[in-house]
Amino acid sequence: MATITCLCPACESTVRSELIPGEELRCSQCSQQMAPSVPDWQDGQLNCCLVCPSDQMFIRKDFPQRLGVTIVCLGFLASSIAWFYHQVLLSFGILFGTAAIDVILYIVMGNLLECYRCHAQYRGLGDIASHGSFNLEVHERFRQEAARLKQAQRPGPAN
């Protein structure tokens, strides 16, 4: 079962919905229809985002990034404390244990497809390998575009 998690462009509430090819996506709060300007499904494969008109999407692990950073920081902190008390083997054991947890989570966790522009997340899609992995240059281009749009919407100084 394929699903989408995104923010509604109209009311900015979180939308979680099942994806059915050819069926329109609507916000559960405000009933706003989210439809891109280009065809979205081709041969059962998602070509572009269903929320915004972007065809730039990337594959990432379906794992909360903050939790991953927290695990690494706790491992580093625990290892540093063990090192401070001259427990060298324990310190390295904690570091290797943290690395082992990271490898296991990488193997166990599935992938999702995320839009660079609106950050909509698509889970349970079939073949997503054609979209490729994260590209920092594309991400930065969309981040700067969003910053320019936000600044353009700000009211100017009063004359």
DSSP per position, 48-93: S-SSSS---EEEEESS-HHHHHHHHHHHHHHHHHHHHTT-HHHHHH
Q: Which two tokens stand for residue 100?
A: 């082992």
Q: Which two tokens stand for residue 94?
A: 């904690």
Q: Which two tokens stand for residue 144?
A: 């700067």
Which pLDDT does position 41 carry in this prediction? 63
- Kindly report the pTM of this predicted structure: 0.76
* pLDDT in 10s for each residue of the chain, 159 residues: 788 888 888 888 888 888 776 677 778 888 887 765 445 666 667 778 888 878 889 999 999 889 989 999 999 999 999 999 999 999 999 999 999 998 999 899 999 999 999 899 988 887 787 788 999 999 999 999 989 988 888 776 655
Return d(Cα 9, Cα 4) in angstroms, integer: 14
Which pLDDT does position 58 carry in this prediction? 92
Where along the chain do its domains lie?
Answer: 3-62+110-153, 65-108
